[in-house]
Amino acid sequence: MFCTRIKSKLRNVLRTFDSFVDNNVETALKVTTVLKQIIASPVADIVTALIPGEADDLLKKKLLIALEKVTDVLTITDECMKHHNVNDKLACFAEQMRHNSPELQDALLHKMASLLTSELDGNRMKQNLYDLYTQAKYAAAKQ
């Protein structure tokens, strides 16, 4: 009975997310998937590699702003805070991530996807709801 109530509440929470949030989660997960690949094999221009090619100019601008904010929030070391260019910050972030365990990398990339979704959505909801939805979308994609 307890599990049934939790399952029901979780379903209700997930239904509250509209297609706009859903699209933002998809975009955020694409970005963090590419970042994971960049961590394994560096590229020169991270921003160009991260932003989906089909993204329109408005989405690209929002993503650049969101990536800068999120990178500042998740910065693992003060070293990355010295950079003022989003590409340099992301390169530093990726370099610092290489020194962490795969489990910590995955945790940080999940949080990054959640924070990106929140930023792209205009922070309309509480962060824990974006965390939940991002995790649910990621889990569903893995199955």
Residue 47 covered by a domain:
yes
Mean pLDDT of the 48-63 span? 82
Mean pLDDT of the 102-109 span? 92
Spatial distance between the Cα atoms of 35 and 38, rounded to a whole number of angstroms: 5
103: containing domain = 20-142
Residue 117 covered by a domain:
yes
pLDDT at 17 over 70: no
Residue 15 covered by a domain:
no
Number of domains in the chain: 1
Q: What is the pLDDT of residue 138?
A: 82
Residue 31 covered by a domain:
yes
Q: What is the pLDDT of residue 110?
A: 92
Residue 136 covered by a domain:
yes
Residue 102 covered by a domain:
yes
Residue % of the chain over a pLDDT of 90: 30
